[in-house]
């Protein structure tokens, strides 16, 4: 299966680079601009963030980002290769000090293809493994952990739309290696989770409040094959400041509903609200 996916990826790269005619192609090593921005309402996006859950004394933090390696461009067409890595953690704050509940690792290799000024495709490979910590098991009473990991191929499209002053996106992850071995903790099959996860979303910027500052809103929905295609939903509204290179600072309110995004709790439903600070680099 990995060989088939690699062949598809090579075909995509070849077809896109082949679309460049013989005119000059501009190459850039470690380019400063991204072809695809961070999808703001995606709860597991590659970024630096800090969130306070309003319903309890828990916090969510992340450290990471997307790092473009090389790009090739000609007029409206462009190809960009990036690596991305982020660690997410949720923490509980008892009276004395913070205790870590879970740590979730995400790594991606992105191949982005700009077909024109409005349409961008993304493909690539990724890995995530998601764990309970010693604090959760020994001090906080979460019980034993499960084995949750995914190696995946992804394919997405993003369309910029002036009518909404933003963009819409959608696509899927195919998990060619997928373990959700709950060892009896959850009533789900250990060896054959559905390999598909579908994701769709949008960001709109209806109001400009400064030279580079905007009020915005975002929605992200994932349909998760490992939980009978139940939905993880996140709705976000906030203020963002964007510099000339597209680097963004956001302060936002989130409403999460539906299935947990954390692999250790993947069949559980959870509804909560957060105030969050994001750094999208």
On the question of pLDDT at 188 being above 60, the answer is no
| Mean pLDDT (whole number) for 205-217 | 95
Point out the least confidently predicted range of 18-22, 28-32, 108-112, 219-223.
18-22
Quick one: pLDDT at residue 179?
80
- Euclidean distance between the first and the last CA atom of the chain, given in angstroms as a whole number: 33
Q: How would residue 98 be classed by pLDDT, with cut points 50, 70 and 90?
A: confident
Q: How would residue 134 be classed by pLDDT, with cut points 50, 70 and 90?
A: confident
Phi, psi of 140 (to 5 degrees): -105, -5
Quick one: pLDDT at residue 189?
54
> Is residue 246 a contact partner of residue 232, using CB atoms and an 8 Å limit?
no
Comparison of pLDDT for 5 and 77, the residue scoring more = 77
Point out the least confidently predicted range of 126-130, 139-143, 148-152.
139-143
Tokens coding 83: 């690596």
Tokens 């800090």 locate to: 50
Residues facing residue 154 across a β-bridge: 124, 173
> Is residue 34 a contact partner of residue 68, using CB atoms and an 8 Å limit?
yes
On the question of pLDDT at 46 being above 80, the answer is yes
Q: DSSP per residue over 261-273, as a string?
A: SSGGGTT-B--EE
| Mean pLDDT (whole number) for 199-226 | 96
Quick one: pLDDT at residue 13?
52
Residues facing residue 88 across a β-bridge: 62, 104
Residues facing residue 269 across a β-bridge: 259
Comparison of pLDDT for 54 and 134, the residue scoring more = 54
Q: Average pLDDT over the chain, rounded to whole?
A: 89
Tokens 């939903």 locate to: 233
| Among candidate residues 37, 34, 33, the one with its CA nearest the CA of residue 167 | 37
| Mean pLDDT (whole number) for 161-183 | 90
Quick one: pLDDT at residue 14?
54
For 94, 151, 177, the CA distances from 225, given in Å and listed in that order, are: 35, 14, 13
Comparison of pLDDT for 87 and 13, the residue scoring more = 87
On the question of pLDDT at 263 being above 80, the answer is yes
């Amino acid at each position: 299966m990995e060989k088939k996916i690699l062949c598809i990826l090579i075909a995509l790269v070849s077809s896109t680079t082949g679309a460049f005619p013989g005119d000059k192609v501009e190459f850039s090593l470690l380019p400063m601009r991204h072809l695809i921005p961070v999808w703001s309402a995606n709860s597991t996006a590659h970024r630096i963030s800090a969130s306070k859950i309003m319903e309890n004394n828990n916090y969510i933090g992340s450290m990471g980002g997307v790092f473009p390696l090389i790009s090739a461009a000609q007029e409206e067409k462009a190809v960009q290769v990036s690596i991305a890595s982020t660690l997410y953690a949720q923490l509980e704050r008892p009276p004395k000090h913070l205790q870590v509940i879970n740590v979730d690792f995400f790594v991606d290799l992105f191949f982005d293809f700009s077909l024109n000024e409005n349409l961008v495709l993304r493909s690539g490979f990724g890995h995530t493994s998601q764990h309970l910590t010693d604090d959760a098991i020994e001090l906080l009473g979460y019980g034993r952990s499960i084995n949750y990991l995914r190696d995946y191929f992804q394919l997405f499209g993003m369309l910029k739309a002036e009518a909404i002053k933003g963009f819409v996106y959608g696509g899927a992850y195919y998990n060619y290696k997928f373990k959700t071995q709950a060892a009896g903790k959850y009533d789900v099959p250990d060896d054959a989770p559905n390999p598909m996860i579908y994701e769709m979303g949008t960001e709109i910027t209806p109001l400009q409040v400064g030279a580079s500052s905007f009020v915005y809103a975002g929605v992200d929905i994932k349909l998760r094959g490992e939980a009978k295609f139940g939905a993880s939903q996140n709705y976000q509204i906030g203020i963002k400041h964007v510099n000339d290179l597209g680097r963004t600072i956001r302060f936002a309110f989130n409403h999460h509903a539906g299935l947990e995004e954390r692999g250790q709790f993947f069949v559980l439903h959870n509804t909560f609200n957060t105030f969050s600070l994001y750094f999208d680099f």
